[in-house]
């Protein structure tokens, strides 16, 4: 590739040569030991001044203000920023002033990574700063960093907001936009809170295959790949459900996995081709237990991140205080449309859905029509966490039939902020019923439903050995992260959201 160098890039390469000519390695190999961070100094210096007399800290230069023979600069480390004060005669005690006049003033740039030693003091204007006694270049930056300025009341100027720049060059986004890092720290805290909760319940974290011979456990178009040595196709997993249930058959009574799933479908602000779902399964439990477990866990997650159950999302406040509201699917539809699904036959239902403006085609069975009505007319209205329960059997091929309601299954979905956040059920463990459900899926596929499930014979074999009654759930981790970090786009909670590859010719 031939990248035409800009004026500023040429200047920085020239500085690189000058540094080497002056005997300074711009990329030294030896370690630079630090004993402080920016956040540590800001938090603790005032009440413990004696401990900050001899500090060593490293970071990236983010701004420089030269005032003749003394200068102020800001360096940024993982924890934040701190001002440093560089005085010529302190870093150049002898006759040779070139370290200050040439190296610091001319050859260092915003974006360079330096290590300094010195002592902490408070400036006349009251800012905690580091008085530098020695300075060492640790890495020279050859590409100019976009400068974002912030004034004393916190207003930012010239912030880089271009989504393409931010997502393609996340490394730069993380350096210049302070809130971005915080989002990802919160995402990890959220996953840690979930892990802790599930571990305390006695569940075992496991890993199951990403490369699968049959893409099972969900209805979606898979990515397909090929194994050369075996000369067979493999699919990137669309879900891990069937593998976790195999482990329950094998005697693990509680298992969970953060599963990176892959679906070859559209991308928008709530969909990325690869995304993360937490699934967990617990033997001898049912979906009623799972609702309680789910709401307790999400309440804990909100507390871990926000210290309160009330989570801001856009202009709304979402309250994760348990228990969450519960309503059956049919009651939800009746409430929002006045339609009593149970009173209508298939044709009447189809007509009613069309009258509501739903997009209905003739391949759709009763279950899909009901799903369409709910999706169009109800789903978006559930801002506060709400469990929607008891779905038609046709749209739930892996779910146990309802203990008392004919034609329904023991399933719930959790709606938050008008979107599905979780999907759970009492797992179907009757192998003969399961085989029939798979066969119904094949019929749907033959009718033209391109997202019906494949038969997984090995999974059926596992069920025939006997699976205990089990409750299972899948929770969209990216969507949960969006809510917990108040971001409207999935791209903002993924470090490297999928983009069309750049052309470098």
**Binding residues among 118-137 for RNA as defined by CB under 7 A:** 121, 123-127, 129, 131
Residue whose tokens read 């990890």? 188
**Does 83 engage in binding with RNA (CB under 7 A)?**
yes
CB contact at 8 A, 279 and 474: yes
- Residue 108: C-alpha distances to residues 18, 45, 62, 68, 82 (Å): 11, 28, 11, 16, 18
Q: By three-state DSSP, how is residue 114 classified?
A: strand
DSSP readout, 277-338?
Answer: EEEEEEET--HHHHHHHHHHHHHHHHHHHHSSSEEEETTEEEE-PSSPEEEEHHHHHHHHH-
Among 69, 208, 319, 328, binds RNA (CB under 7 A): 69
Query: 3-state DSSP helix/strand/coil percent for the chain, to nearest 5?
Result: 35, 25, 35
Q: By three-state DSSP, how is residue 209 classified?
A: coil
Among 165, 184, 223, 252, binds RNA (CB under 7 A): 165
**Does 273 engage in binding with RNA (CB under 7 A)?**
yes
**Does 363 engage in binding with RNA (CB under 7 A)?**
no
Among 49, 149, 325, 457, binds RNA (CB under 7 A): 149
- Residue 148: C-alpha distances to residues 114, 410, 495 (Å): 20, 53, 21
Q: Which is nearer to RNA, 170 or 306 (CB)?
A: 170
Q: Which is nearer to RNA, 64 or 303 (CB)?
A: 64
**Does 425 engage in binding with RNA (CB under 7 A)?**
no
Pairing between strand 80-87 and 128-139? parallel
Q: Which is nearer to RNA, 279 or 299 (CB)?
A: 279
Nearest to 439 by CA among 453, 450, 426, 427: 453
Q: Whole-number minimum distance, CB 241 to RNA, in Å?
A: 12
Q: Whole-number minimum distance, CB 472 to RNA, in Å?
A: 14
Among 45, 52, 256, 275, binds RNA (CB under 7 A): 275
CB contact at 8 A, 36 and 55: yes
Interacting span for RNA (CB under 7 A) from 147-155, 206-214, 344-352, 396-404? 147-155
**Does 419 engage in binding with RNA (CB under 7 A)?**
yes
Q: How far apart are the first and last CA of the chain?
A: 6
**Does 345 engage in binding with RNA (CB under 7 A)?**
no
Interacting span for RNA (CB under 7 A) from 26-34, 61-69, 292-300, 332-340? 61-69
Q: Whole-number minimum distance, CB 461 to RNA, in Å?
A: 25
**Does 367 engage in binding with RNA (CB under 7 A)?**
no
**Does 7 engage in binding with RNA (CB under 7 A)?**
yes
Of 443-482, binders to RNA (CB under 7 A) are: 451, 476, 478-479
β-pair partners for 172: none
**Does 213 engage in binding with RNA (CB under 7 A)?**
no
**Does 185 engage in binding with RNA (CB under 7 A)?**
no
**Does 268 engage in binding with RNA (CB under 7 A)?**
yes
Based on the number of CB atoms within 10 Å of its own CB, is 432 exposed (0-12), middle (13-18) or buried (19 or more)? exposed
Among 54, 89, 310, 458, binds RNA (CB under 7 A): 89
Q: Whole-number minimum distance, CB 68 to RNA, in Å?
A: 2
**Does 186 engage in binding with RNA (CB under 7 A)?**
no
**Does 151 engage in binding with RNA (CB under 7 A)?**
yes
Q: Whole-number minimum distance, CB 7 to RNA, in Å?
A: 4
Nearest to 86 by CA among 102, 67, 58: 67
**Does 159 engage in binding with RNA (CB under 7 A)?**
yes
Judged by phi (left if over 0) then psi (alpha if -120 to 50, else beta), residue 378 lies in: alpha
Based on the number of CB atoms within 10 Å of its own CB, is 133 exposed (0-12), middle (13-18) or buried (19 or more)? middle
Binding mask 216-255 for RNA (x = CB under 7 A): --xxx-----------------------------------
At 166, list the tokens: 């931010």
């Amino acid at each position: 590739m031939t990248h035409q160098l800009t004026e500023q890039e040429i200047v920085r390469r020239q500085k690189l040569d000058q540094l080497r000519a002056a005997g300074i390695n711009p990329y030294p190999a030896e370690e630079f030991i630090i004993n402080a961070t920016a956040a540590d100094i800001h938090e603790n210096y005032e009440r413990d001044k004696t401990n900050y007399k001899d500090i060593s800290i490293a970071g990236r230069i983010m701004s420089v203000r030269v005032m003749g023979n003394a200068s102020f600069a800001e360096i940024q480390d993982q924890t934040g920023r701190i001002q440093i004060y560089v005085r010529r005669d302190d870093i150049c005690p002898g006759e040779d002033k070139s370290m200050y006049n040439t190296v610091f003033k001319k050859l260092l740039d915003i974006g360079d990574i330096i290590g300094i030693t010195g002592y902490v003091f408070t400036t006349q204007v009251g800012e905690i700063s580091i008085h530098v006694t020695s300075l060492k270049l640790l890495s020279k930056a050859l590409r100019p960093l976009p400068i974002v300025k912030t004034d004393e009341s916190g207003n930012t100027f010239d912030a880089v907001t271009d989504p393409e720049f931010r997502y393609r060059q996340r490394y730069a986004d993380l350096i210049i936009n302070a809130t971005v890092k915080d989002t990802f720290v919160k995402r990890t805290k959220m996953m840690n809170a979930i892990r802790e909760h599930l571990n305390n319940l006695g569940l075992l974290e496991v890993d199951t295959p990403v490369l699968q011979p049959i893409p099972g456990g969900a209805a979606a178009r898979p990515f397909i790949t090929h194994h050369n040595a075996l000369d067979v196709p493999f699919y990137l997993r669309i879900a891990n459900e069937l593998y976790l249930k195999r482990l329950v058959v094998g005697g693990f009574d509680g298992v969970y996995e953060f599963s990176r799933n892959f679906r070859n479908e559209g991308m928008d602000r709530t969909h990325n081709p690869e995304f993360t779902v937490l699934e967990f399964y617990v033997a001898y439990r049912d979906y009623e237990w799972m609702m309680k477990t789910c709401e307790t866990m999400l309440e804990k997650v909100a507390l871990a991140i926000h210290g309160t159950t009330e989570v801001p999302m856009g202009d709304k406040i979402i309250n994760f205080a348990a228990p969450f509201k519960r309503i059956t699917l049919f009651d939800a539809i009746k409430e929002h449309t006045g339609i009593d699904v149970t009173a209508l036959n298939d044709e009447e239902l189809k007509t009613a859905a069309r009258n509501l403006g739903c997009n209905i085609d003739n391949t759709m069975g009763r279950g899909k029509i009901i799903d369409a009505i709910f999706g169009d007319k109800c789903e978006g209205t559930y801002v506060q966490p709400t469990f929607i329960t008891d779905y038609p059997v046709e749209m739930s091929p892996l779910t146990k039939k309802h203990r008392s309601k004919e034609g329904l299954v023991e399933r719930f979905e959790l709606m938050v902020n008008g979107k599905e956040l979780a999907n759970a059920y009492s797992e179907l463990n009757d192998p003969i019923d399961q085989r029939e459900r798979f066969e119904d899926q094949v019929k749907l596929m033959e009718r033209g439903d391109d997202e019906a499930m494949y038969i997984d014979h090995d999974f059926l074999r596992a069920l025939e050995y006997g699976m205990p009654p089990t409750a299972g759930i899948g929770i969209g981790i990216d969507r949960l992260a969006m809510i917990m970090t108040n971001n409207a786009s999935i791209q903002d909670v993924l470090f490297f959201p999928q983009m069309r590859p750049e052309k470098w010719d």
